[in-house]
Amino acid sequence: MRKVIGLVSLLAVLGIAVATQVASAQDKYPSRTITWLIPYGPAGGFDLHSRAISVGLKKALGVNVIIRNRPGAGGNIAWNLTWASKPDGYTISTVNIPGAIVSELFDDPKPHYKLKEFSWIGQISAGPYVFAVGAKTPFKTLEDLQKAKEVLITGTGVGGTAWVTEALTAAVLKYNHRFILGYPSAPASNMGIVRGEGHGRALGLDSPGQMQFVHDGHLRPLWVYLEKRSPDFPDVPTIGELGHPELTVLASHRVVTAPPGMPKDRLDILQKAFDAATKDPEVLERFAKMKAKIEPVVGQDWVNMLNGFYDLIADNGETFKKSLSKKK
């Protein structure tokens, strides 16, 4: 009987020890795969830049990071999913700023999130734009756009920085525009122009998947949103040369976030791992091959920038309301 009691006691002790080890393993962060939601389809700048950074993030965290493309509603499907996810650090997403701010402030297309409440990790890059039109369109200069009865702009939706750029540019440069929206990705939006469904759009200058349409001769660049001419397009004028240097601030800010309410210790781990990933040699090599530039802004520094973008959108509220009324 004493042996039976002793065996039971031993098993109980071992059981407690095993349970403690399991609990400890569960409490350690991160201990399992992280899902990274991309708001647009494959081959665009958001997809490629996020995938490149994920390589370094895997190394820094010691766990797998799976990329999931969840396009739709101008990015809002992915951001709404992230907002509703458990704040345990196992779901993150790339957000398009300042495009997502327009969706939130003007309730289109029905966002559920509040950007200032997200648990921000850091900015990957701030990609400049080039405005291009279909090679078969009659538009060759800004003056051609200004004389046109209507310029059709293709895109994924209103929750994108390309949309913000296009709306502000049309208002400032004074040409009549209308949006043709609902394409699953930026390259798909470009194909819409090639097929004759639209006339032009703003392309990510550091997005190989988009710029291939220009290099292949399907799209014709009219201007770039840079202070100095792009070495890739030395004959294409800058938006400053067209008389509007203030528009050079328009860029696609690709920023990584987690659901609201993340525990500080887990958010700190993600931010430090993200910072390490932006310095990882393999990541830097991938960006170099894309001819893209990493521009990391981490933690509170990014939150300060976010507040500034809210002011930009609010100051141009009437412009965005007018463009929203024109979408197809």
Per-residue H/E/C for the chain: CHHHHHHHHHHHHHHHHHHHHHHHHHHCCCCCCEEEEECCCCCCHHHHHHHHHHHHHHHHHCCCEEEEECCCHHHHHHHHHHHHCCCCCCEEEEEEECHHHHHHHHCCCCCCCCHHHCEEEEEEEEECEEEEEECCCCCCCHHHHHHCCCEEEEECCCCCHHHHHHHHHHHHHCCCEEEEECCCCHHHHHHHHHCCCCCEEEEECCCHHHHHHHHCCCEEEEEECCCCCCCCCCCCCECCCCCCHHHHHCCEEEEEEECCCCCHHHHHHHHHHHHHHCCCHHHHHHHHHCCCCCCCEECHHHHHHHHHHHHHHHHCHHHHHHHHCCCC
Report the candidate in 178, 160, 6, 157 with the shortest Cα–Cα distance to residue 73: 157
- pLDDT of amino acid 155: 92
- pLDDT of amino acid 246: 84
Q: Give yes or no for residue 170 having a pLDDT over 50.
A: yes
CB 43 within 8 A of CB 76: no
pLDDT digit string, tens, across residues 80-104: 999 999 999 999 999 999 888 888 8
Q: Give yes or no for residue 11 having a pLDDT over 60.
A: no
Domain ranges for the chain, please list them: 29-126+252-318, 129-250
Please indicate whether the domains covering 29-126+252-318 and 129-250 agree at the CATH topology level: yes
pLDDT digit string, tens, across residues 218-256: 999 999 999 899 998 999 999 999 999 988 888 889 999
pLDDT digit string, tens, across residues 32-79: 999 999 998 888 889 999 999 999 999 999 999 999 999 988 889 999
Mean pLDDT of 123-142: 95
Mean pLDDT of 14-19: 43
pLDDT digit string, tens, across residues 261-318: 999 999 999 999 999 999 999 999 999 998 888 999 998 899 898 988 888 888 888 8
Q: With cut-offs at 50, 70 and 90, classify the pLDDT of residue 185.
A: confident
Q: Give yes or no for residue 135 having a pLDDT over 90.
A: yes
Q: With cut-offs at 50, 70 and 90, classify the pLDDT of residue 326.
A: low
- pLDDT of amino acid 24: 39
Higher pLDDT, 100 or 19: 100
- CATH code of the domain occupying 129-250: 3.40.190.10
Mean pLDDT of 128-150: 97
- pLDDT of amino acid 37: 98
Q: Give yes or no for residue 182 having a pLDDT over 90.
A: no
- pLDDT of amino acid 159: 59
- pLDDT of amino acid 309: 85
Q: With cut-offs at 50, 70 and 90, classify the pLDDT of residue 12.
A: very low
Domain 29-126+252-318 fold is: D-Maltodextrin-Binding Protein; domain 2 (3.40.190)
